[in-house]
Structure formats: structure tokens, C-alpha cells
Chain A
Amino acid sequence: MNGSQGTITRSAVSAVDELSTAFRSLYGTGYVNKNDALLCIDKLREAGGRSNRPSILRRLFDILDACGVSYERGRDDGYYESLVMSAPMPSFGEIEDKMLAAMYELYLKYPTPETYLKRIVDAHDNGGGGASLRLRILRRAVECGSFSYTTETVCDGEVKEKKVTMYGGELYLRKYLEKKLKKKPKKASEHVSLIDDDAFDVLTETSTSSEQKKPGGPYGMLQMINDLSSGQLKACGATKKALYLFAMFYDMTFATSSGIANPKTDVEDRLFSNYYTYDLLRFVSESGGAKSEYENNPMGEGINYKNYAEMTYLYFIAKSGLTAAEKIKRSDELISRLPGLQSARCAEGGESRPSPHSTKFYRDAVKHTDGDLFAEDILELGEKEFTEFLLENYDCSRATKYSSAMQTASEQRTAYREYRSLLAGLLDILRSGKDDGVSADTDSEREISEEDMKELKRSFGYGLWFADPYGAKSDETKKRLCESLKKRRGGADPDEKSVESYITLLAKANDFLTDAFSVTSPSNVTRASVIAAYYYYYNARHENDGERSPRSFADVFGEYREGLDPILRACFMRELGAKNLLDVLVVFSSYAYLNL
């Protein structure tokens, strides 16, 4: 047995370990501060000779130990008071500075979404001769063949040929190559090495309209690749579709029930868990900045097993013996045909579309997590049987004429129920100070009114502890952070641009957390919103635990895992992990909230 560990994971985890160490050393120099010690002195006086005196003394000694202050045991209250008053103990502000600086060091080491994508591309083209990531993906896409195909449709009883363009760009690239070659290329795929980064210039030309950059437009493919490679996630399922195509370009895999997931090529692990996650670094990536068609708050969805289009992509990804071009064409063809086939069938039989089964049913059709172990795995069926299964069990329609196939059946009812259950727990704490606990998989659903939501927002919604803790705008934060970093780095100035990006990131994460009470339907609940709700719930539940000894970061992380992981699992969402910066920020924020 030989251990294996991915470089990116290693770097993310080691960054978190270092942060943990940094916070531990803060404890060593006092994340408890003078106020905590003075509070103990007050309590000591109040206690007099009562039985709680030893426990208060113990707490005081812990604080003095943590701050490196030497003391004698068995002395009177006056001795301890004058000791605390005169001892050099760190102020609250100093601790804040140190924590922010430690978080910044973590941020610098975190992998961006592009890093995850690059790893997959690197494994395929061995570094791509130093070409940019987007160029390497474009070259691979061209190698894979055409993004248009001809299909047959029946119109008024007549069979007609119809040209379908999944992503436009072929014509443009042929002309681009024609200029380079000074003659018409027979096949673009034979000249991929002549395509260079200038091919993308057309996207930024003022004469190029946004219509031309849409998937069917003449630059659709270039735009899709440009977005994907720079971590710009588009809304309405466009990113998911691009990810499935990317998976086919690079021969990625998806294990059926009788197979083993290859962690290096597994779609779910490499694309959905790593790349398309709620990655805050997207906000400060190369070409960040949200426009209307991009996800404002990245959804970070996993695979939606209830969606017929996603199942079709997975079916062809898992299928062996097909080239990338065949997989791309056949999946797109089937996805296009299914709504019509289902409509015709329903019209013939006078039936309505199949009513949705539970999420478990759809997951079991592929994953067999809890259901009949030997039931048919739909990804192992022949194409005809697979199509039949989809028609019989999936809603293959589109919500509106303009919505994409990827948006069908996108409600997350279980996740919405868990989210509301957390809010109900928060309301209980708020109104009665009572907490009966929140557990996953409860069937009961409490009504949360609009008024309740407003009340929660008023009482909580304070956001991330780290964002703008000085109560000033970013200039002040930046100045203080730079000073703190300079001290930490032995006088060396930090990179101002990175510090700015870091502050932007904290502000964006903070915006998201302050907006945690705005999810109003099963369609817009996300993993991040469940985590945000848990964040407030956890803080509210533990903020009066002052008498207990201070929690270490490991304690908080452990308690989060214990409380939040079962909820995330019930929602079929990824568990808490050090690989996701939002997860780490939220846990550290709780840690700071409870300890400072």
C-alpha cells in the first residue's frame, strides 16, 4: 500500500495547518486578552469563599499561562489584580491584527479554480509548451472535432436534415487559420499548433456583440473556453454544460456501480468538488467581476441526478469505446431529442409527464447508495434502454422556452428543508434562549414567515468576523494589514495588489454571509447558504459558553464537522473540507467570534 496525495490538496491543507499553527501561537502569546483576565478578577471578588472560587482561579491561571505571565499560587485577590494590571498582555486590536495577517498568509497559498483545471490539462498535454490555459483548451477542443452536426428531424411527415451548432466558432477559426496558412485549411484539427492566443482577441473587440459570444454565435466556443479557464462561472446551467464538455475533451471518467472512481480523472471529484465549488477566489481571479450573465454568488452545485441532461452527459462520459467527438455529438443529440420524444409519447397516450420521484430514487439509479444493491445501473444500460429509462422517469421538459435543459428539476427540497430547520433553531434561541438542537433528516418542517426572516436578518446577519473588523472602509483595513504584515515579515513590504485582492475577497464573503437569510425557495438554496445558516446557528448556540475553557481552532472545526456534516450529507452536499476557502473562512470566523 502506497500513500498518494495531490499537490494542490497538499498545498491547501498545509496552508490550513500553518494557519492553525499561527493561531495556536496566538494563543501562546494571548488570544485571551487583558479584559478576560480582568473579568476573572471581578468574578473572583464576587465568589469570595464560595465553592466556585477554584474553577475561577483555574481559568485565571490558564489565561496567565497563555500570556506567559509568571505568578504565585495561593495568594490573595489583591495580588492577582495588581499582577493583571501591570502585566504586558496583548490588546484586542493586536490580536485582531495577528489573525488577519495569518488569514492573509493562508489566502496567498490557496489554489484558484484555474489551478484545478490546469492540473487536468497538464496531465493531458504535458504542460502545453508554455501556452496559456485557455489556448490549450481551445486547441484540444479543435482536435476533438466539430461542434456542429447534422441531425434528422421529422416535419409534417417529411424527414429533413437540420444543422445543429452547439458552440459556434468553427468558421471563425478556419478563417483565422487561413490567414496564417495563406490557404484554406482542409481540417482545422490538423493545424491546431498554429492557433495562438490572438485568436481570443475578437472577444474584446468593440465591434463584437454579446449575441455573437453566446453559445450559438460565431464566437460561442471561444467565450465558453475563456470563461471556463478563468474561473468565470455563468448562470443558468451554462457552466455545468461547459464542464461536461470539458470532461469529454479530456477523457474524464465517471464510475458506474461496478467500477472504481479514478480520483485523477473523476468528473465529480475533479470538476464538481474542486473546480465548480463555492470558490471565493473566483472573485479575485484574473478576470473576476460579475456581469449579469455570470453567477453573482456561485452556486457550487454538485451533479444533479434528477436532471435528464446531466444524466445523459454522465452516461456518455462513463461509456467506453467512444471518441471525445462521438461522446459530445451523441450526448447533445440525445438531450435535444428527449423533450420532443417525451411530448409525443405523452400526447399519444394522453398522459402527463412523469411526476418526479424522490432525489434518492435518482441517486440510486446511478450510485446505489442505500437502495437495491443489484438494481440496474442506468449508466450501464444500452443506449436504447437508457433513453427509455429517462423518458419513463425523468421530466425531460424545459421550464420555459428560454431556460436550458440543465435547469430542469433543479429544486433541492431536502437542502431547503435543512436550511429552514437551521433557521427555526436560530429563531428558538433568539426568542426563548432555548436550543433543542438541529439534526439532519428530520421530516418536520417549520413554517418560517417573511417576518421571521426579517427578524433573523436584524438579529444576526453580522457577517464574517474578519471583514472590515476595524469598522472602517477598506483603505484603513489595508493600511493596518500592511503594517501588521510588515512586522510579521521582518520589515519587508507586502504586495499591495495581493492585499487589495484579499480585502475584496473578505468583503465578498462577508456580503454573502450577511445575505444568508434570503433563500426563499428550493431552487436557490446552495451548499454555501446551508453553511451560512449553520454559521449563525453555531455562534448563537455557543456564544454564552464563556465559562468553558477557550476553544482551539481544532475544537471548532471538530464541532462544525460533528454538527454540520450530517446536515450536508442529508442534503447530498459535500462535507466540510479544508480545500474550500469559504469553509475555512467560516470556521475561522466562528473561532474568532467565540474566542475574541
Chain B
Amino acid sequence: MIIKFKRRGERREECADAVFGGCRGAYSVISLADGVSMCRHAAEGADAACRAATELLLKHGGYFISSPEKRAASEALSHVLGRLRERAESAGADVSDYSSTLSCVLIDRKRKRLLCLSLGDSVVIACGRGKCRVLLSPAAHSENGEICATGTTGAENALCVKSLDASDVDSVTICSDGAWRHMFESGRIRETVRELLLSGDCAGLGDCLAAETPEDDCSFITVRLGKENIESHGRKTA
């Protein structure tokens, strides 16, 4: 089951976050992209990046899950960048106008494997055996400490990737910076958030985040392993 949550920041004209998810055979994919606010087509870029990544990983799940991490990451990003370039060219714009972060998780239920990719400052959290673990952190993923996005030169070098055994994983959640800033306090996951994640109460987590007043867009997407149907949670999306 895939649960999406997207909420527009109070001071934003439009939400520049995109969340996508899908299942195909033994494979499930969730993706989240957060448009770089200063870019002209941030929301469109985030949406296109998310779609392209989700479709690719779903279509070639077996290939990506069994490829070496670095190669899988580089090929996925190259595909996404190709799509963004096409879009930019047809609009007479530059690909950097479509910049966004991009995080994806590919799950192979049959082989019990997970592949996580992340470019930028989103957080990927796995839950299982009564614990939450941060799989990918919002570290500065580039040589010079700058947060990298799809339109950044050398983005492929800044892409973080992790492949792991998913036998004990109950759920995986990708959170945008607007969401995780309210889920963590002094670098530690808040106890209420931990409980909500562990109990799989995504509606509760959505309520919890909605009760805050984030200025930034606030989104997350969760996939629960073991269930294959996609369910869009009834949150109001902006």
C-alpha cells in the first residue's frame, strides 16, 4: 500500500513537491521530488522527474535491483535528466529551470530487496522490528557542501544510493525537507512521529504535520511492504 501526503506551504503560491508511486508485479516504487523554489518551472520539473523515475524503475525493476548500486543510480538519473532536457528544449527553456530534488525507493517483494536513490535533502526512513532507521540523510551531497538538485552540474556525483535486504522492513517513507524538519528535533526523531511511523498510522502522521504550520511545502510518501494495492490517502493536496 502506498500512502501519499502533500501539503502546500502557507507562503507558497503553488506546491513544488511531487509524490508518485506504483506497483507492477513484484515491484513497487515510490518517488518524491521537491522543486527548487527559485527555479521558473520548479513544480513542473519535480512532477516530471518523479514520473520519469517511477516509470523507469517500475518497468525495469529487475534490472535495477540486480545492478551494482552506482550503475543503477547513474542510469536512473541519466534517464530522468534526459526527460527533463526534452521538456526544457520543447519549451525553449534551460534544464536548470526544472531543478528539483529526487528520491526514489524500489522494492522487490520477491527477492526482498530495496534500492534507495536520493539527490538533495529528502530523508528516507525504514521501519521494522519496532525501530525506525534513517536510510538516506539530507547530507550536503556535493563537493562544495551545496545541496544538489537535478539541474545542478555534476548531479550524478552527488547522488546517494543504498541497496539492502528488506526482509525485516515493514514500511519505507520518503519525506521532503518541509516534512522531516517537523518530524525530527535536534537530529532525533520525535517520539510521537516514531510511534505513528511504527504503527503505520500515516493518516495520523499527516494530521500531526498538518497541525504544525510549516512555511515550506510538506510531503511524504510511504509504502507498506506486503500489500500490493496503491491507496491514495484522503489528504487534501494543494
Contact B134 A257 (CB under 8 A): yes
Cα(A13)–Cα(B176), bound, Å: 28
Q: Which residues of B contact A257 (CB under 8 A)?
A: 131, 133-134
Cα(A424)–Cα(B194), bound, Å: 50
Shortest CB-to-CB span from B115 to chain A, Å, is 14
Q: Which residues of A contact B164 (CB under 8 A)?
A: 370, 373
Q: Give the dominant DSSP class at A's interface.
A: loop
Contact B143 A13 (CB under 8 A): yes
A253 is an interface residue with CB less than 8 A from chain B: yes
- Give chain A interface residues in 50-80, CB to chain B under 8 Å: none
Shortest CB-to-CB span from A594 to chain B, Å, is 22
Q: Which residues of A contact B34 (CB under 8 A)?
A: 1
Q: Which residues of B contact A255 (CB under 8 A)?
A: 134, 137, 187
Q: Give the residue name and chain of the A residue nearest to B183 (CB).
A: A260
* Cβ contact of A3, chosen from B36, B129, B176, cutoff 8 A: B36
Q: Which residues of B contact A3 (CB under 8 A)?
A: 36, 146-147, 149
B140 is an interface residue with CB less than 8 A from chain A: yes
A354 is an interface residue with CB less than 8 A from chain B: no
> Are A578 and B144 also in contact (CB < 8 A) when A261-B137, A261-B139, A374-B133 are?
yes
B200 is an interface residue with CB less than 8 A from chain A: no
Q: Which residues of A contact B123 (CB under 8 A)?
A: 260
A2 is an interface residue with CB less than 8 A from chain B: yes
Most-contacted residue by chain A among B35, B101, B123, B138 (CB, 10 A): B138
Q: Give the residue name and chain of the B residue nearest to A266 (CB).
A: B187
Contact A373 B169 (CB under 8 A): yes
Cα(A374)–Cα(B36), bound, Å: 33
Cα(A2)–Cα(B143), bound, Å: 17
Q: Which residues of B contact A368 (CB under 8 A)?
A: 133
- Give chain A interface residues in 254-293, CB to chain B under 8 Å: 255-263, 265
A9 is an interface residue with CB less than 8 A from chain B: yes
Q: Give the residue name and chain of the A residue nearest to B194 (CB).
A: A258
Cα(A261)–Cα(B141), bound, Å: 13
> Are A260 and B180 also in contact (CB < 8 A) when A6-B145, A9-B144 are?
yes
Interface size class, chain B: 35 or more
Q: Which residues of A contact B11 (CB under 8 A)?
A: none
Contact B186 A262 (CB under 8 A): yes
Cα(A563)–Cα(B17), bound, Å: 37
Cα(A265)–Cα(B188), bound, Å: 13
Cα(A258)–Cα(B132), bound, Å: 6
Cα(A257)–Cα(B16), bound, Å: 29
Contact A263 B187 (CB under 8 A): no
Shortest CB-to-CB span from A410 to chain B, Å, is 27
Contact B121 A1 (CB under 8 A): yes
* Cβ contact of B131, chosen from A6, A374, A577, A578, cutoff 8 A: A374
Most-contacted residue by chain B among A1, A253, A260 (CB, 10 A): A1
Cα(A13)–Cα(B146), bound, Å: 11
Most-contacted residue by chain B among A2, A10, A13, A320 (CB, 10 A): A2
Shortest CB-to-CB span from B25 to chain A, Å, is 24
> Are A1 and B37 also in contact (CB < 8 A) when A10-B145, A258-B188, A373-B126 are?
yes
A86 is an interface residue with CB less than 8 A from chain B: no
Q: Give the residue name and chain of the B residue nearest to A3 (CB).
A: B147
Q: Which residues of A contact B137 (CB under 8 A)?
A: 255, 260-261
A5 is an interface residue with CB less than 8 A from chain B: yes
A358 is an interface residue with CB less than 8 A from chain B: no
A126 is an interface residue with CB less than 8 A from chain B: no
Q: Which residues of B contact A258 (CB under 8 A)?
A: 131-134, 188-189, 194
1/0 contact trace for B23-52 toward A, CB 8 Å?
000000000001111000000000000000
Contact B144 A5 (CB under 8 A): yes
B165 is an interface residue with CB less than 8 A from chain A: yes
Cα(A253)–Cα(B130), bound, Å: 24
Contact A260 B147 (CB under 8 A): no
B177 is an interface residue with CB less than 8 A from chain A: yes
> Are A259 and B36 also in contact (CB < 8 A) when A5-B140, A374-B168, A577-B143 are?
no
Q: Which 5 A-B pairs have the closest CB atoms?
A: A13-B144, A9-B145, A374-B129, A1-B34, A5-B146
Q: Can you give 7 A-B contacts (C-beta < 8 A)? A: A1-B36, A6-B145, A258-B188, A259-B189, A262-B186, A320-B186, A374-B129
